[in-house]
Copies of this chain bind each other. A is one copy, B any other.
Amino acid sequence: MVHNGIEYGDMQLIVESAVLLRQGLGLEPAVVADVFSKWGAAELESYLIEITADIFRTEDPVVPGGLLLDAVLDRAGQKGTGRWTIQAALDLGVTTPTMSAAVDARVLSAQVELRAEAEAVFEGAGIARPPERLEGISADDLRDALYASKIASYSQGFDLLGTASAERGYETDLGEIARIWKAGCIIRARFLDRVRAVYAGSADSAPSVLALAPDFATDLVQREQAWRRVVGSALSAGLPVPGLAASLTWFDGLRTARGSATVIQAQRDSFGSHTYERLDTPGEAVHSTWKPAS
C-alpha cells in the first residue's frame, strides 16, 4: 500500500515537472521528451521517467500530426490505494504531504466541470489563465526541484513504513523493501539503490528519516536554491504545483527546530484551557490567562 502512495507522489511530481517544462519553459513536446530522456539517463533514471519521455513522443493515431497526450481527457483515475495510505499515515501520526497533494490532485482532476466553471469565473474577473513563462528557470533547475522533492516524498514514505513496522512489530527491513521495489515495480529507479544503501547497515546506524542520511542531506543542500526558485516561480506564474510545493514546505517544517506551534498552543490554552508546556519546565501542564496586564 505504501508503494502505491509513493507511486502517486512520483507520478504527480513528474507530471508537474512536465507542465513546467512545456508551459513554464514553453518547450515543444519533442523537446520535453528529450529532457526527460536526458534526466532518465542520470540520477533520475527510472521507469516512470522513461515512459513519460515516450508519452511526449507518441503521435495521435486519430489526428495525424497531433500529440496523443493532447487528445486525453484530464480526469485521472485512482483505485483508492493512495487515499488509504494517507488515512493510515494519519492514524500513525506520520505526515505524508507529498502523497496527500498527489491524491488531492487526482480528486480535483475528476471535477472537470467545476474546474471549467472556475477558470471561466476567474478569467472573467481578470485573472489571466496560464501559460505564463517561468522567469529565470532552466530545465536543470526543474530537474533539481524534482529530485529534491523526490527525496522529500521517499523520506515521508519510508518514515511511514518504519513507523508502521515499529508500531505493529513487523520488523520490516527497509533496505530489503528498496531492493524488492528496484527489482521490478512501477517506481523502479536508480534512486532505490541509494535508499537501500542508507538502510544497509545496522538499524542503529539508520537515519531518523531518509532526508537526514548524509548523502541525501547533501543532495538537498545542493538543490535547495533551485527548488525554492522553481516553486516560487511556478506559484508566481499561476501554474499548479501542489506536489512540489508540499514537498518544499515539508522540508522547511522539518528543519525548523523551534516551530510556530507555540502560537497554536497559546491559542488552545487561551480558548479552551488545554494547557501547554514551558521550555523551562517540560512535562508539566501549565495554564495561563492570555491577556496583557492592564
Out of B33, B114, B279, which one reaches A254, CB within 8 Å?
B114
Q: How far apart are the CA atoms of A130 and B121 in the complex, in Å? A: 38
Contact of A74 among B59, B77, B212, B258 (CB under 8 A): B258
Is the pair B253, A108 in contact by a Cβ cutoff of 8 Å? yes
Determine if A162 is an interface residue (Cβ-Cβ < 8 Å).
Answer: no
Partner of A252, one of B104, B209, B239: B239
Choose the segment among A13-21, A136-144, A169-177, A193-201 that binds chain B (4+ C-beta atoms closer than 8 Å): A13-21
When the two chains form their complex, are residues B122 and A217 in contact, meaning their CB atoms are under 8 A apart? yes
**Is B263's CB under 8 angstroms from A18's CB?**
yes
For the complex, give the distance between the alpha carbons of A69 and B228 in Å.
30
Q: Judging by beta carbons under 8 Å apart, are A119 and B257 in contact? A: yes
Tell me if B253 and A55 are in contact (CB < 8 A): no
Query: Hey, which chain B residues are within 8 Å of A91, CB to CB?
Result: 83
Contact B75 A270 (CB under 8 A): no
Contact A114 B52, CB 8 Å, known A59-B293, A71-B278, A288-B68: no
Shortest C-beta distance, A268 to chain B (Å), equals: 6
Tallying the copies of this chain within the complex gives 2
A48 in the interface (beta carbon within 8 A): yes
* A208 at interface by CB-CB < 8 Å: yes
Interface pair A71/B127, CB less than 8 Å apart:
no
Please judge, given known A-B contacts A95-B107, A240-B252, A245-B246, whether A279 and B73 are in contact too, CB under 8 Å: yes
Partner of A217 from B121, B258, B267 at Cβ < 8 Å:
B121
Pair A266/B55 contact, Cβ less than 8 Å:
yes
Residues of chain B with a CB closer than 8 A to A2's CB: none
Least distance between A264 CB and chain B CB atoms (Å): 4
> For residue A236, which residues in chain B have a CB less than 8 angstroms away from its CB?
228-229, 232
- Measured CB to CB, the residues of A under 8 A from B are 11-12, 14-16, 18-19, 33, 47-48, 51-52, 54-55, 57-59, 61-62, 68-77, 83, 86-87, 90-91, 93-95, 97, 100-101, 103-110, 114-123, 125-127, 129-130, 186, 208-209, 211-212, 217-218, 220-221, 224, 228-229, 231-233, 235-236, 238-242, 245-246, 248-250, 252-268, 270-272, 274, 276-280, 282, 288-293
